[in-house]
Structure 1
Amino acid sequence: MPEFNRSTVTEFILTGFPGLHPEYQGLVSAILFLVYLLTLTGNVTILFLFATNRSLHKPMYYIILNLCTCDILFSTTTLPKIISKYWFNSGTISFTACFVQMYFVHYLGTMNSIILFLMALDRYVAICHPLSYSIVLKNSTILILSITGWIVAKAAPLMLVIRAYPLPYCASNIINHCFCDHIGITTLACTDRALYGFPALVFAMLVLLGSLACVMFSYCSIIVAVLKIANLQGRIKSLSTCSTQLIIISLYYLPRCFVYLASNVGIQFSADMRIVIIMLYSLLPPMINPLIYCLRAKDMRESLWKQFNRCIIPQKANVSSISS
């Protein structure tokens, strides 16, 4: 009998945080809901500022636009289900829905790496080749690169799903995670996982380490170029233009690299600690990124302040007219 006809699992159960005491489930769901709400509010605000302020229509902010979109989609893909588990005791997810979630988790993760590479490319051209910046990185160029990235990023996650979906799932249906991912699903298959796990590992390493290598090369080149600037004030100004991207890139890569390195040097994490770390580096950056843009990017601060004044001044005018 073919393998795909032997599957008896019709749904999966997400454990969330396995060791979480029931009395804290309400608190955890409230925290996750707050994270989701702040993520949506912050990133939608950035999208609104971009749409209403032509001064933000620059290559760097087109890249940030992609990152905001990716962050909103990733949070929407992962958080509502785990929130409903703790709020409504609904931890089950259908067989097909789990694979759909798995696809978007890996697709958006891949796209995130591409966007961070585009950020590093933007700063590399701006500092190392400033005279060519307006020619090389036009808005249309970033648009083409972004669309290409969103299309190319689909391929590998789609192949992971196509290969994993027909496997025989005839044993446990419990996924020890807050969302469906390739490792969590394929470890439940009643077959040798090596044939499916190794290509997934190679894909993950290519995406993570490949994009990280490109980012590191870009910033090493930037540092070399900055050190050649004789004026100290010029060095500080050049580095300050990279500060926003460096913070965002650090939030994305450092925790992931720590987890991979720790597992390779023999540092063991409990299931709960592993899930907490994964959730932190997956969900905190989308929530914090908009705050970083508004605090560090001058154009974004000015646009936010102008929008704030537009909302406040009409209210004051209405109050004055009523009182008179």
Structure 2
Amino acid sequence: MIANFTRMKSFSILGFPGLSPQYYGPVSALLFVIYLAIAVGNTFILAFVVYERSLQKPTYLVFCHLALNDLTFGTVTLPKIISKYWFDDSVASFYGCFTQMFFVHYLGSVTSFMLLVMALDRFIAICIPLRYPVLITNNIISVLCGFAWFIPLPLMVAVVLHVLTLPFCKSNVIAQCYCDHISITSQACGEDVKIVAVTSLCVAMFCLLLPLAFILFSYISIIVVILKMSNAAGRKKTLSTCTPQIFITCLFYLPRCFVYVANTVGFSFSLDIRILLILLYSLFPPAVNPIIYCFKTQDIKKMLMKRLKKTKIGIEIKLSY
């Protein structure tokens, strides 16, 4: 078993198996643009909230934690696949691949728990507004976000260590754009593979479905409260305060649920389509979330417009001299 385990020195990232070499350049350029969008957008959100003291409120602190998570996820996953298509470098070291796998699943789990914190913030703000200033403060949100970062940590370390006990005696090709649990364990052999798969599935369901259950409860409760409001303007205003969170939550969960349900009912995708779908639901939200923060959140939108107007006036004054 030890011999089989130590025989594999590295993995090869396959990427899109059906992609013709003539498209390697455009694909790598597209992935690089996506990474720039993730890096610039999420760094801007972090810097803007830190700079604008008026935005340092519980809701925007959660946005900052999500932005940091999205920025880290993009940095962990994209550079390797970009280098594959740009520089023909598809080799990932054995432990490097496991490190990437850890961060892929850890950061995904953190996002799930962070969305739970976001839903809790909106639930208390809309369903029990009089208690909001007491129950939700910057310190309390920071502690809750800290738990969101910490809870998946030991679970994902245990998952990675469990996979490391497997002997790897099949191909070293990772049929994916980055190292994840399924693509790595599919190269393992032995009776323990099923046990590892079931254990990992249970951890994944805990990290995804437990927060999702509370999130659904929260937003259903919020919608019920909004529908009971007699004032149409009040309904619209209250709904607008939680639309960014609903958009962000849907972007994270709906594509994943679609893929899982499709697999469960026996609807099979080609390898290229499956890889593309996973890449889309992994990387589209980190790239789009900063736009949602800016254009669907009134406070950030107003502050941005205010800063842009000041900048424009400043430029006009300088040009007049």
Shorter-chain-normalised TM-score: which range?
over 0.9
**CA-based RMSD:** 1.3
- Tell me the distance in 2 between the aligned counterparts of 1:81 and 1:131: 49
Distance 1:81 1:310, change over 3 A: farther
Q: Contact 1:7–1:170 (CA<8 Å) still a contact in 2? A: no
Aligned-residue offset at 1:5:
6.3
Q: State the match for 1:304 in structure 2.
A: 304
Greater shift in the superposed pair: 75-84 or 208-217: 208-217
1:76 is the counterpart of 2:66: no
Equivalences for 1:188-199 in 2 at 5 Å? 188-192=187-191, 193-199=193-199
Aligned-residue offset at 1:66:
0.5
- Tell me the distance in 2 between the aligned counterparts of 1:9 and 1:152: 32
Q: State the match for 2:92 in structure 1.
A: 93
Aligned-residue offset at 1:217:
0.4
- Tell me the distance in 2 between the aligned counterparts of 1:136 and 1:237: 22
- Tell me the distance in 2 between the aligned counterparts of 1:101 and 1:256: 20
- Matched residue SS, 1:13: strand
Q: State the match for 1:261 in structure 2.
A: 261
Q: State the match for 1:237 in structure 2.
A: 237
- Tell me the distance in 1 between the aligned counterparts of 2:320 and 2:136: 48
Gapped regions of structure 2 (runs ≥ 5): none
Aligned-residue offset at 1:4:
6.6
Q: State the match for 1:142 in structure 2.
A: 141
Aligned-residue offset at 1:310:
4.2
- Matched residue SS, 2:245: helix
- Matched residue SS, 1:7: helix
Equivalences for 1:119-198 in 2 at 5 Å? 119-192=118-191, 193-198=193-198
The count of corresponding residues between Structure 1 and Structure 2 is 320
Gapped regions of structure 1 (runs ≥ 5): none
Q: Deviations over 1:169-193 (max 9, x none)?
A: 2331001000001111111113231
1:47 is the counterpart of 2:43: no
Q: Contact 2:38–2:74 (CA<8 Å) still a contact in 1? A: yes
- Tell me the distance in 2 between the aligned counterparts of 1:231 and 1:66: 34
- Tell me the distance in 2 between the aligned counterparts of 1:4 and 1:178: 28
- Tell me the distance in 1 between the aligned counterparts of 2:243 and 2:16: 34
- Tell me the distance in 1 between the aligned counterparts of 2:147 and 2:210: 17
Q: Contact 2:38–2:286 (CA<8 Å) still a contact in 1? A: yes
- Matched residue SS, 1:90: coil
Q: State the match for 1:67 in structure 2.
A: 66
- Tell me the distance in 2 between the aligned counterparts of 1:244 and 1:160: 33
Q: Contact 1:164–1:196 (CA<8 Å) still a contact in 2? A: yes
Letter in 2 for 1:123: R
What's the TM-score, normalizing by structure 2?
Answer: 0.96
Distance 1:7 1:171, change over 3 A: farther
Greater shift in the superposed pair: 150-159 or 79-88: 150-159
Aligned-residue offset at 1:49:
0.9
Greater shift in the superposed pair: 169-178 or 127-136: 169-178
- Tell me the distance in 2 between the aligned counterparts of 1:265 and 1:6: 35
Q: Deviations over 1:267-308 (max 9, x none)?
A: 110000000000111101111111111111111112222333
- Tell me the distance in 2 between the aligned counterparts of 1:133 and 1:282: 33
Q: Contact 1:4–1:167 (CA<8 Å) still a contact in 2? A: no
